[in-house]
Structure 1
Amino acid sequence: MMKCIEYGHEIVALANLMPLDDSVDDLDSYMYQTQNLSYTMTQGDEVEDLYILLSKVKEQMPSVTAVSSGAIASDYQRLRVENICSRLGLVSLAYLWKQDQSLLLEEMITKGIEAITVKVAAMGLLPSKHLGKEIAHLQHYLHQLKELYGINVCGEGGEYETLTLNCPLFVNAKIVLDDFKVVHHSLDSIAPAGVLQPLTFHLEHKREFISSTSDDYDVRENGRPSIFEVEACVQHVGALCHSVTSEVVMDKDIELEVARTKRDDTFSVICWIHGSSKPSGGLQRDLATVLKKTDLLLSEEGYGWADVLYIHLYISDMNEFSLANETYVSFITEEKCYMGVPSRSTVELPLTQAGLGRAAIEVLVATDRSKKVLHVQSISCWAPSCIGPYSQATLHKEILYMAGQLGLDPPTMKLRQGGAIAELDQALENCEAVAKNFNCSLASSGIILVIYCSASMTPLEKKAIQGKINLFLKQRGFCVADNGNLRNLLDLMLLFILTSDLPKSALVEVKPILYVPKDEETESGSHMLEPSCVTTPDYWGFDHLPFDSSFCQKCVIHGKICAGSISITNDLATEICSGSLNSDTSFEDSILSIPICMRKIARFCIYLLDKSLLENQFSWEDITNLRFYFPVGSCTPSDSLFSIFRDAFDEFAVLSGRIDTDKGSIYNLVPVVGAGRSAESMDDVITCELVATKP
């Protein structure tokens, strides 16, 4: 409650559940003890009683917008409160979530919270000795028990419970216990349990009375707080379990294009609108169409949204972000995604300029249903909340796919002030907070770091962004070296994508992919093995060209992951197309030769991708996602570019026999404002991003 006030909220109501039988002091709780990472409505569960209680609060006080809970580490409690809030249209606040318990206990004591233990149930805590003691008195002893037995010093594991007798929020009086008794629930010799039952008490008025901050938020009648009693009505629970889903009919007038990678167990499906000659029906209509088509494609293969790990959502106008979300949540719901909702990145791209409608989607699918999802909808001090059917991160087969992170201050959910560099700094902090939940970090585990930059960013801000990233990479090396693992430092790949706009008009969005090994095998340095000496067939005559590797990035974990990127700059494009250009003519000047040049560039990209896959003992069948970013302002129309890449892959399939293009494309051509491997030079002709994994 004190944290709520600290972050600008007004406390307008207190809601409390209690047993109908006054003689019962302690109840078995679904909310605090159910061993599950999702919540399903259950008749007789006191969580449903809480739903009814909070429904009554909303009825009496329609202006209520949020519910605060004290969850620190309990997913079970947080998930249940979030479920209720979602159903009631309320925001869940959990400002203590993931906070260091030692620091939190110290802060409680320092800020004047006087609380006594009223229940103990842990090794080292004796009912006869420790019940009724203030937490300030027990603080040192609790830390001793933490060292001895690993208890939670804030009692988050049920080790103890407290009753607050005084705190700064008690402006008029504090509670004084006159008499109480100790009731033993268990006389276990190792971890006895007992509760304190207050018998009599009185209020002791404080010398300085501080009046209520505002009568506008004082829920009182004639100067006294209003008290409402609500009795749970279990017969309503069945009605609460009913959910309504809207049926969306796919627009048959919209021409769609679909691509799919070849893996059977982990693959990408890309769906976009093709044909600039037809007018768009608006963002919601276009998005509903591509979502419905994707839904049908998944269903045809026996899968659904529950199997999706990650979603890239591309829209044409960020001003319609809320409308896009409305459509999104009509397809992708927590009920459908019972194993956890997919993580998501959303950016605005120049889709309409490229003739690709107003919405496009790319989904990463895994068929084995072994994913681990982190989805925190509560606003906290930990990391930005994800209020809706999209999660902070999804772990699957040692790869952590993290949602795009903005530079949001977690407790306020507002962009950090100070421009692009401040937003990037906060976004990196948010990424680190999420990574910590999976026992990894950007410093030691990063494979790819995609940094989306808004087109509204100034040249000076781009330069500052690059400087911040360079500093991050330098500190990253120092951090890993301090832990003695420098030889196992992954070759983190950096991609900078210039977008039309970002959510909340942010300047930066960071999207990491990390490697999270199941065991300590990385200590052996196995991922540092040199590429095998395999001769790459040269079907198009690129072997003789004197290229260096400065335009390529690669991160390989032997036998598991092969990730790479290719930056085709103007200078490199000129070299590739030298045979097609007139002497002393740059790529940018050779407008008439563009189709010929782009064909060579497409072939060159395929040649390098094939080379990287072969050298690291991967195949085209192992690809999970393949993207080619192209600037919409280039001379080549998007229709021509699609045809050029399709023809190049078809030609490669015939020449090599190592890829099957009969069933369609395996790649995503993504229109952008710009792209590159540096924030200061996002002007590539083509930027390629590849991720391949072994089953």
Structure 2
Amino acid sequence: MKVVALVSGGKDSCFAMMRCIDYGHEIVALANLMPMDDSVDELDSYMYQTVGHQIIVSYAECMGLPLFRRRIRGTSRDQRLNYAITPGDEVEDLFILLNEVKQQIPSITAVSSGAIASDYQRLRVESVCSRLGLVSLAYLWKQDQTFLLTEMIRRGILAITVKVAAIGLSPAKHLGRELADLEVPLLELKERYGINVCGEGGEYETLTLDCPLFSNARIVLDKYDVVLHSADSIAPVGIIHPLAFHPEYKNENSSRSSSNDNVVSNGLHKVHEVEGDFVLPDIVKCQSSDLPSDAEKKLELCISNMGGELFSLGCWIQNPSRTSKGLQDDLASVLRRIELQLSENGFDWSNVLYVHLYISNMEGFALANEVYVKFITEKKCHLGVPSRSTIELPLLEVGLGSGYVEVLVAKEQSKRVLHVQSISSWAPSCIGPYSQATLFKEVLYMAGQLGLDPPTMMLSPGGATAELEQALINCEAVANCFNSFISSSTILFVIYCSSCLTSTERVEIQHKMAHYIQQEASNVHQTRRMPNPIFLYILAPDLPKGASVEIKPVLYVPENAEDEVQIRESRPASKISKQLNDSALQVYAISGKICTVLVSVTNDFVKKSCSETDVKSGNWHRSERNLQTMATFCVVFLNKILSENDFSWGDLINLRFYYTTNLFGSADTLDKIFTEAFAELSLVNNCIKIGETPRYNLVPVLGSGRSASMDDIITCELFASKL
């Protein structure tokens, strides 16, 4: 990509440019924000480093690139973590600056910044990039600061300190010193006082005078004053105010023009002063505000019990031969119907924690996203957009439309999301309105993770197991942001496998998963014994980006890590359980909090439950009586497990029945049979309270199960919570 680099003069923004080049991008322009008054060194800004700004004019000449500069007119008006467009805010100066760069150089598609740990700065850069249709590149984000400091020095960044403001740093002793000379002292101060060795806590600021990107010249600081801002005895604050400087050219072909000259040697690269004022953007009426049609109001809905804090809502189009108009129209109808249902119950998209997006053809993934962003936006979700997983399913084959959506809704708006849109070396970015993970009531719902190499956003080479390994690394990076670990905190792993994989490759994936969990668990200090997570494998026709595998973890993240938690691994001893092999049942229950169940209905069950004639003929699934037997077993068995773990159907959050399309006909038939099974359970056992009739989603798949063989006939996935 062609990149405009935000430069403050500091080491971080310069090293960020170098990392962009490492990953094949091209820096084509520079952008800088400076104070209104040249004599002012430092502003009271939450966003911008301005100390040493007088020297930035030389960067255009040193690098042979156009430099766009704007004087900062705004202030930090919106100081919330998640920024909203605010007239007069300093963020709008960045917007105006980058908008001008984009107008002058239309080929630019990305913006580089040196953010390392500040969510405040990163989110504001991402907000501006999103408004301008640009990609944020933040290759230093979440990187170990000791490693970064060492790499900056090793790779030839010559930077001096222009501000010190931390215990152990003295203006008289440390101002104007080269970064390389301060490496050892900084590391010692980290050990002694816990300072950020890259200065992310405001401990110090730097000014880069030379680096490998300065191909034409280096900067020589001829004269400066030391300004003492605070004579505090513990952490005195001092800055350098440049008085005179000049470029020192590196070869005879370099420009001989003055650093105050706007034009460098080739006559094309200039320093551009960007003027202009903030203009409130037009608010475009989005498609989702349109009212659903009468036909859309009749779309099939599945709403779980709404008595608790959480409930799930599924919507799909039935009999698509009469109503389906293609993926875009189908998905718009489904999302509009969900939006209406949320509104009727006093909720909106900001209440949604998670979205399962099922589409009939992955070739329409881009079109599906176009529809999706018209309904679910950051503006509508003030606490953050929901997390999401997307896979292709054989929807049309069972009489459903091209789009099928299931959302997890919280009545209370207290979720915490992680939504990083910048491309970095940390974990795959979410360039769009969905978050990497959403935490609510001690449960972390993670977006589907592909085996993408974070800095390139390309699938890891080496086949399915290499993709799986990278996906697990990505999951771990996200989990760590919530002070958690995939290996020791995961309740449930859903592993989506593409149908392009061979049976051998799927087995290798299963072995890799088991080995990873076992190995990582032994490396992580655990304060309590945690059982192995539940594994659910789903065979899908296709996955985003043509991936071989996608992982969707659900984690338990207790608010107080020191609390004693009772873990119950349940295996009901009821007679009906004898119809199952031990391996066909997985239960993960945290007493009084969570109950997750996976039940596999296998061929062994069919042989025991159906007539010998049906089994031999292979027509058992064509018998409604046999299907009723299977459905009755599922609901009775799930009821037994809930009861033995002190849960009821009123605690149900979601219930999915995955069924293989080659064994069953339309979804209508199966839906009718399961509905009757629950009705019979209610009448016979009287275990379902009024208003708590379980609702479920029927999910058509190519295969499912607790192992990578995915040879279950039906797999039941249940999640109940009292949180």
TM range (shorter): over 0.9
1:650 alignment counterpart: 679
Aligned with residue 15 of structure 1, among 14, 28, 31: 31
CA contact (8 A) 1:628 1:668 kept: yes
Q: How far apart are residue 189 of structure 1 and its match? A: 2.2
Q: Which whole-Å deviations, capped at 9, do the CAs of 1:352-396 have from their partners, x for residues lacking one?
A: 111110001111011111111000000000000001110000011
Question: Could you tell me whether the CA contact under 8 Å between 1:306 and 1:341 is conserved in 2?
Answer: yes
In structure 1, the residue matched to 2:445 is: 401
Q: Shift of the alpha carbon at 1:278?
A: 1.4
Q: Is contact 1:353–1:632 with CA below 8 Å preserved after alignment?
A: yes
Residues 1:279 and 1:336: Cα distance change in structure 2 (over 3 Å)? closer
| Secondary structure of the structure 1 residue equivalent to 2:512 | helix
In the alignment, residue 253 of structure 1 is paired with which amino acid?
A
SS at match of 2:612: coil
1:256 and 2:295 are equivalent in the alignment: no
Residue 367 of structure 2, aligned match among 314, 319, 323: 323
- How far off its partner does 1:221 sit? 8.0
Q: Quick one: distance in 2 between partners of 1:106 and 1:244? A: 50
Residue in 2 that maps onto 1:678: 707
Contact 1:653 1:661 (C-alpha < 8 Å) held by counterparts: no
Question: 1:444-496: per-residue Cα shift (whole Å, max 9, x none)?
Answer: 1010000001111122211221221231233144234xx365x6123300000
Range 600-609 or range 221-230, more displaced = 221-230
SS at match of 2:315: strand
Letter in structure 2 aligned against 1:687: T
Aligned to 2:637: 608
The structural deviation recorded for 1:515 is 0.7
- 1:589 and 2:618 correspond: yes
Report how far residue 544 of structure 1 moved.
Answer: 8.2
Assess if the C-alpha contact under 8 Å between 2:649 and 2:693 holds in 1: no
Aligned equivalents of 1:160, 1:3: Cα separation in 2: 22
Distance in 2 separating the partners of 1:415 and 1:461 = 17
Amino acid at match of 1:686: I
Alignment CA distance shift 1:561-1:592 (3 Å): closer
Equivalent residue number for residue 528 of structure 1:
567
Letter in 2 for 1:59: Q
By how many angstroms is 1:677 displaced?
Answer: 1.0
- The separation in 1 between residues aligned to 2:139 and 2:571, in whole angstroms, is 51
1:573-619: CA deviation from partner (whole Å, max 9, x where unpaired): 222x24xx036x52771347631111111111111211111111111
Paired with 1:275 and 1:220, the residues of 2 have a C-alpha distance of: 67
CA displacement 1:145-189 (0-9 Å, x = unmatched): 222222111011211111001111011221111111111112222
1:264: how far off? 3.2
**What SS does structure 1 have at the residue aligned with 2:658?**
strand
Aligned match for 1:512, one of 549, 553, 557? 553
What corresponds to 1:5 in structure 2? 21
Amino acid at match of 1:3: R
Which residue matches 1:494?
A: 535
The 1:496–1:189 alpha-carbon spacing in structure 2 relative to 1, beyond 3 Å, is same
Equivalent residue number for residue 690 of structure 1: 718
Q: 2:493 aligned with 1:470, yes or no?
A: no
Q: Aligned partners of 1:293 and 1:664: how far apart in 2?
A: 22
* Local SS of the residue matching 2:172: helix
Structure 1 gap ranges (5+): 212-218, 537-541
Tell which deviates more after alignment, 323-332 or 239-248: 239-248
Aligned alpha-carbon RMSD (Å): 2.2
Which amino acid is the alignment partner of residue 582 of structure 2?
Answer: S
Q: What is the CA-CA distance between 1:224 and the residue it aligns to?
A: 4.8
Which secondary structure does the structure 2 equivalent of 1:347 belong to?
strand
Distance 1:328 1:659, change over 3 A: same
2:259 match: none
Determine if contact 1:453/1:498 at 8 Å carries over to the other structure: yes
Query: Do structure 1's residue 27 and structure 2's residue 43 form an aligned pair?
Result: yes
The answer for the alignment partner of 1:348 in structure 2 is: 392
Checking the alignment, whether the CA contact within 8 Å between 1:290 and 1:361 is kept in structure 2 is: yes
* 1:440 correspondence with 2:456: no
Instruction: Pick closer, same or farther for the CA change 1:328–1:276 going to 2, 3 Å.
Output: closer
Deviations 1:11-43 (Å, cap 9, x if unpaired)? 111011112211111111142687532001222
The answer as to whether partners of 1:594 and 1:636 remain within 8 angstroms in 2 is no
How far apart are the structure 2 equivalents of 1:172 and 1:491? 59
Q: Matches of 2:577 and 2:155 in 1, distance apart?
A: 72
Instruction: Name the structure 1 match of 2:658.
Output: 629
Assess, with a 3 A threshold, how the Cα gap between structure 1 residues 183 and 46 changes in structure 2: closer, same or farther. Answer: same
Distance 1:207 1:618, change over 3 A: same
Q: Which amino acid aligns with 2:331?
A: L
Deviation of 1:530 after TM superposition, in Å, equals: 6.5
Choose from 239, 242, 260 the match for 1:198.
242
Write the distance in 2 (CA, Å) between the matches of 1:382 and 1:336: 27
Report the secondary structure of 2:273's partner residue: coil
Q: CA deviation at 1:661?
A: 7.5
Q: CA 1:323/1:356 → structure 2, altered by over 3 Å: closer, same or farther?
A: same
What residue is the counterpart of 1:366 in the other structure? 410
Question: For residues 356 and 662 of structure 1, do their structure 2 counterparts lie closer, same or farther at Cα, with a shift above 3 Å needed?
Answer: farther
Q: Deviation digits for residues 603-658 of structure 1, max 9, x if unmatched?
A: 11111211111111111111111110011111443221011011111111222333
Q: Compared with structure 1, are the counterparts of its residues 229 and 365 closer, same or farther at alpha carbon in structure 2 (3 Å cutoff)?
A: same
What is aligned with 1:87? 131
Q: How many Å separate the matches in 2 of 1:618 and 1:592?
A: 32
Q: What pairs with 1:286-297 in structure 2 (closer than 5 Å)?
A: 286-297=330-341
Q: 1:549 offset after TM fit, Å? A: 2.5
**C-alpha distance in 2 between matches for 1:566 and 1:324:** 32
